[in-house]
């Protein structure tokens, strides 16, 4: 069965303390991996798409990387405004239709 | 950026009543709209996919007679939770995709439904 697992479930960092979030997947027919940011009571906001192993993308303090079985979201020198839940999702074809399958997310808290 | 709105943002209703949630793409025409449900500490789960003018495609385990989806135009989709029960209480999020690329999927702010 297709599965997307994110770890850790929650992460607390001090401002400036770099770290990484993990998204591992066991899916067949992967067509892309997405990272989103979700603030409390809001819908997800698109961050990155990765398509092939070895691919990397950066945006400000965030960098996403992809291997054949997992993706990492690296956060360099985070700030309190980076506090949010980060979701990963895999784009796959299932039962003849395309869909995004989401992980449960990692709740990041950055303390000043 | 593209904007997707949802209305209402919060709704409280009595068990047995029906609730309608609207999803609008404000500045683009959406080829496809999606409805998701999110329980606390759980994954965002796709409920159904809808294209304008055609019947929605429901995910396995989602009751189509309970969660009625109408996609009347390229900018509006509605989800009606019929005969709501407390277990239907959840955060419902819609999204609209501007093109066939998943990078152009934009999410609404969500609707918090509480069924008493």
pLDDT (tens digit per residue) in A53-99:
999 999 999 999 999 899 999 999 999 999 999 999 999 887 777 88
Q: CA B100, CA A52: separation in Å to the nearest integer?
A: 19
pLDDT for position B1: 66
Task: Look up tokens 């093109």; give the residue.
Answer: B99
Nearest alpha carbon to residue A103 among B112, B80, B44, B10: B44
Residues of B in contact with A97 (CB under 8 A): 49, 57
Of A34, A95, A102, the CB nearest to B43: A102
Nearest alpha carbon to residue B46 among A97, A58, A74: A97
pLDDT in tens, B54-108: 889 999 999 999 999 998 889 999 999 999 999 999 999 999 999 888 888 999 9
Residues of B in contact with A103 (CB under 8 A): 43
Chain B nearest CA to A26, separation (Å): 16
Task: Look up tokens 């949010």; give the residue.
Answer: A84
Of B41, B105, B110, the CB nearest to A104: B41
pLDDT for position B114: 97
Query: Are B48 and B54 in contact, with CB atoms under 8 Å apart?
Result: no
> Is pLDDT at A51 greater than 70 in this prediction?
yes
Alpha-carbon distances of A61 from A24, A69, A86, B66, rounded to whole Å? 21, 24, 14, 43
Q: Report CA torsion sign: B59, A41, B105, A30.
A: negative
Mean pLDDT value across chain B? 93
Partner-chain contact A42 B110, CB within 8 Å: yes
pLDDT in tens, B16-52: 999 999 999 999 999 899 999 998 888 899 999 998 8
Residues of A in contact with B105 (CB under 8 A): 46, 100
pLDDT for position A2: 61
Partner-chain contact A49 B102, CB within 8 Å: yes
Partner-chain contact B109 A4, CB within 8 Å: no
Partner-chain contact A104 B42, CB within 8 Å: yes
Q: Hey, what are B66's tokens?
A: 């309970």
pLDDT for position A96: 76
């Amino acid at each position: 069965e297709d599965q997307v697992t994110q770890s850790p479930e929650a992460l607390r960092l001090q401002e400036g303390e770099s770290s990484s979030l993990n998204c591992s997947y066991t899916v067949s027919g992967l067509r892309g991996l997405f990272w989103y940011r979700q603030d409390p009571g809001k819908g997800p906001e698109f961050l990155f798409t990765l398509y092939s192993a070895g691919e990397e993308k950066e945006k400000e303090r965030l960098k996403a990387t992809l291997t054949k079985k997992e993706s990492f979201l690296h956060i360099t020198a985070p700030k309190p405004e980076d506090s949010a839940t980060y979701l990963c999702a895999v784009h796959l074809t299932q039962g003849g239709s395309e869909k995004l399958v989401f992980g449960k997310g990692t709740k990041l808290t950055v303390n000043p | 950026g593209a904007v997707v709105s949802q209305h209402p943002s919060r709704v409280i209703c009595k068990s047995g009543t029906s609730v309608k949630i609207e999803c609008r793409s404000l500045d683009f025409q959406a080829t496809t709209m999606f409805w998701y449900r999110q329980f606390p500490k759980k994954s965002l789960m796709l409920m159904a996919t809808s294209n304008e003018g055609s019947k929605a495609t429901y995910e396995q385990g989602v009751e189509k007679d309970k969660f009625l989806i109408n996609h009347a135009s390229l900018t509006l989709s509605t989800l009606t939770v019929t005969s709501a029960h407390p277990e239907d209480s959840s955060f419902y999020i819609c999204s609209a995709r501007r093109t066939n690329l998943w990078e152009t999927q934009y999410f609404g702010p969500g609707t918090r439904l509480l069924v008493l």
